């Protein structure tokens, strides 16, 4: 395994499959791993708010026999000008792993370069790989496989879209992104995804027509229209994303057995209608639960002593 968990693009298909398999096992048999990170400490840097990431990491490391330390935006010296490099080197003298939620993706990369201990990306403006690992676990639970399924992401070409593109391409899922004009995924991420998809036999479709993306999909996924840090654009985005709501009509374009996914937090009536997110096709709380198991798998693999 690589030292850090910063992007799924850095992991081989085999390594991603191993993490998903371990996540399944951790979920089935948590007691088998209760001392996997015994006596270890995870520093958790948060420059943005969080419910799922914060609670699942803190609980997860505790369940593995270790402890988490929450370091909020004004708790450490980063906001007073201490460099990322110094922060990383100091933390590595105390702790066994660092999880970081940051604005600039380069910050989490720099933490990884400067810390001798594993660094886990708990969301950056570019990527959200922990979420997608939990999502792959969830899809694999629901369908019993990953390869060959069609995964449609509808909405903003944001950090979720990017990690979904990488994750799907790596495991041989066909992936479609339906985005409004002006909100396409990052072209470098799309280029890299196309290269990866060509290696693993999956199709990549990027379109401004959400119904085309949703057509015959096994998974329909969406995320908020305004991500953390974009609050000033919220009003404009509400207008620009009209027609991109995942509702019963859009779910109707997908395969009959399709599931609905959302990383949460959700805004009912914006990116998703209440009847869909609260309906029988929705698996959003399984996704949220699987953050715990998937991240325990990451910590066991990168920090654990005996697995
Ligand atoms: N999905 C997710 O990462 O949620 P939080 O922002 O609450 O951590
Ligand atoms: N795109 C969202 C994901 C939240 C988990 C954001 O960055 O705010």
The residues, ordered by sequence, that sit 6+ positions from 167 with a Cβ below 8 Å of its Cβ are 8, 16, 129, 132, 133, 135, 136, 173
User: Given pLDDT bands bounded at 50, 70 and 90, which one contains residue 266?
Assistant: very high
User: Given pLDDT bands bounded at 50, 70 and 90, which one contains residue 14?
Assistant: very high
According to DSSP, residue 29 is labeled -
DSSP calls for 146-214: -TT-EEEEES--SHHHHHHHHHHHHHT-EEEEE--TT-PPPHHHHHHHHHHHHHHT--EEEES-HHHHH
Say what the pLDDT of residue 190 is: 98
Atom of ligand 1 minimally distant from the CA of 288: 1
Among 2, 10, 19, CA closest to 196: 10
With the most atoms of ligand 2 within 8 angstroms of its CB, the residue from 101, 224, 229 to mutate is: 224
Say what the pLDDT of residue 46 is: 98
Average pLDDT, integer, range 73-86 = 95
Q: 158 CB less than 6 Å from ligand 2? A: yes
Say what the pLDDT of residue 9 is: 98
Say what the pLDDT of residue 99 is: 98
Say what the pLDDT of residue 96 is: 98
| Mean pLDDT estimate for the chain | 97
Say what the pLDDT of residue 202 is: 94
Q: 163 CB less than 6 Å from ligand 2? A: no
Average pLDDT, integer, range 266-287 = 98
Q: 287 CB less than 6 Å from ligand 2? A: no
Which protein residue has the closest C-alpha to ligand 1 atom 1?
263
> Does residue 305 have a pLDDT over 80?
no
> In residues, how long is the chain?
307
Q: Are 205 and 184 in contact (CB under 8 A)?
A: no
* CA 87 / ligand 2 centre spacing (Å): 25
Token pair, residue 233, equals 């654009």
Q: What's the order of all strands across the beta sheet hosting 119-121?
A: 67-71, 41-46, 97-101, 119-121
* b/e per residue 71-92 (b: at least 16 CB within 10 A): beeeebebeeeeebeebbebbb
Atom of ligand 2 minimally distant from the CA of 230: 8
The residues, ordered by sequence, that sit 6+ positions from 86 with a Cβ below 8 Å of its Cβ are none
The domains of the chain, with CATH numbers, are 8-128+291-303 (3.40.50.1370), 129-287 (3.40.50.1370)
Say what the pLDDT of residue 306 is: 54
> Does residue 307 have a pLDDT over 70?
no
CA distance 283 to 209: 24
Share of the chain above pLDDT 90, in %: 99
Average pLDDT, integer, range 247-276 = 98
For residue 287, indicate whether it is catalytic: no
CA distance 37 to 296: 10
Q: Are 78 and 111 in contact (CB under 8 A)?
A: no
Average pLDDT, integer, range 151-168 = 98
> Does residue 207 have a pLDDT over 60?
yes
Among 193, 167, 232, 192, CA closest to 13: 167
User: Given pLDDT bands bounded at 50, 70 and 90, which one contains residue 13?
Assistant: very high
> Does residue 256 have a pLDDT over 80?
yes
Average pLDDT, integer, range 156-164 = 98
Say what the pLDDT of residue 131 is: 99
* CA 32 / ligand 2 centre spacing (Å): 32
């Amino acid at each position: 395994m690589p030292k850090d968990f910063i992007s799924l693009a850095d992991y081989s298909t085999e390594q991603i499959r191993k993490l998903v398999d371990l996540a399944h096992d951790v979920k089935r048999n948590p007691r088998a791993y209760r001392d996997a990170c015994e006596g270890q400490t995870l520093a958790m840097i948060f420059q943005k708010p969080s419910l799922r990431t914060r609670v699942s990491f803190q609980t997860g490391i505790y369940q593995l026999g270790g402890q988490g330390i929450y370091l909020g935006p004004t708790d450490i010296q980063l906001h007073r000008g201490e460099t990322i490099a110094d922060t990383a080197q100091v933390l590595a003298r105390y702790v066994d792993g660092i999880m970081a939620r940051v604005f600039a993706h380069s910050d989490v990369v720099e933490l990884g370069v400067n810390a001798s201990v594993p660094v886990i990306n708990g969301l950056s403006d570019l990527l959200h790989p922990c979420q997608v690992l939990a999502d792959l676990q969830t899809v694999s639970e629901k369908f019993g496989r990953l390869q060959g399924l069609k995964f449609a992401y509808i909405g903003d070409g944001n950090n979720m879209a990017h990690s979904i593109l990488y994750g799907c391409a790596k495991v041989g899922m066909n992936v479609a992104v339906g985005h409004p004009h002006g909100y396409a995924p990052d072209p470098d991420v799309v280029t890299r995804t196309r290269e990866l998809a060509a290696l693993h036999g999956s199709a990549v479709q990027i379109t401004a027509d959400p119904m085309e993306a949703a057509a015959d999909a096994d998974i329909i996924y969406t995320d908020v229209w305004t991500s953390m840090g974009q609050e000033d654009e919220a009003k404009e985005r509400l207008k620009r994303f009209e027609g991109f709501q995942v509702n019963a009509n859009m779910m109707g374009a997908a395969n009959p057995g399709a599931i609905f996914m959302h990383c949460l937090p959700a805004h009912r009536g914006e990116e998703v209608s209440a009847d869909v997110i609260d309906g029988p096709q929705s698996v959003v709380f399984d996704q949220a639960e699987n953050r715990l198991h998937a991240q325990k798998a990451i910590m066991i693999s990168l920090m654990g002593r005996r697995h």
